[in-house]
Structure formats: C-alpha cells, structure tokens
Amino acid sequence: MKKYLLHEKVLEADTTGVNSLISAGADLNELDELGHSPLHWAVFGGYYDIVECLLKAGANPNVFSRDGVTPKWRAQDFGLTEIEVLLTQHGGRVLTDNRFDRGAFSAFNDFLGQPLPEDEL
C-alpha cells in the first residue's frame, strides 16, 4: 500500500476513498513527509465533510503538525468558521507548541492584515 494514501485521498477530496481507508484501519493521526495529519489537510482544503468524517472516526482534533499548530488553529487562521465550530464540538482547541515560529507566521499574517490566532488555555 502506498504511504500516506489517506492524506492523498483527503487532498483529492475523495470522501469515498477516505471512508474506505478508515474502514481498512488507516492511521488517522499520522503525519506525512510535510508534517501534517489528514485532518490538517482536510482543514487546509476547507473540506467540511471530510473533517467531519475524520473526527467521527476518531481523529485527534488536537494533533500538532510539524510546525506546531492544531487543525483548529489553522481553521481560525484561514477564517473557516464552520470547520472551526465542528472542531470545537469534537474537543478541538487553538493550540501551538514549542515548534511554532510565531515570528514567521506573524510576518505573513501582518502582510495579510490579520492577527494570529491566540492559544486557548
């Protein structure tokens, strides 16, 4: 089986493929070579149905990406309110860890004219 197949199906917005891989026991929280879980990619794509599918199957809503942010942090940063609410309903929080480079993200967000999400303590 090809590595990161679940990530690929998420990126393709292939809900049927995602469900098949979940049924086959795919690792819902595995980070790919870029350091993102399938849930992070579903948020990046704005794929509400796939986010919901992954959460219902048991994906960790607070899994950290390699750059130190949770899926809900990304949803808030991208202004994906419906996905942010869904993540909250499943226990998701806006969090960063020690790998998060606030300076780099701040420069980008300042350029866009939007503040960085703040951690939920």
The string of pLDDT tens digits covering residues 77-102 is: 899 999 999 999 999 999 877 777 67
Topology of the domain comprising 5-112: 1.25.40
Residue type, 4: Y
- Copy the structure tokens of residue 105: 């993200």
For 7-64, write each residue's pLDDT tens digit.
Answer: 999 999 999 999 999 999 999 999 999 999 999 999 999 999 999 999 999 999 999 9
| pTM, full prediction | 0.86
Degrees, nearest 5: CA angle 77-82-83: 60
Domain ranges, ordered by start, for the chain: 5-112
Task: Please tell me the predicted confidence (pLDDT) of residue 96.
Answer: 79
Residue 121 has pLDDT above 80, yes or no: no
Task: Please tell me the predicted confidence (pLDDT) of residue 113.
Answer: 73
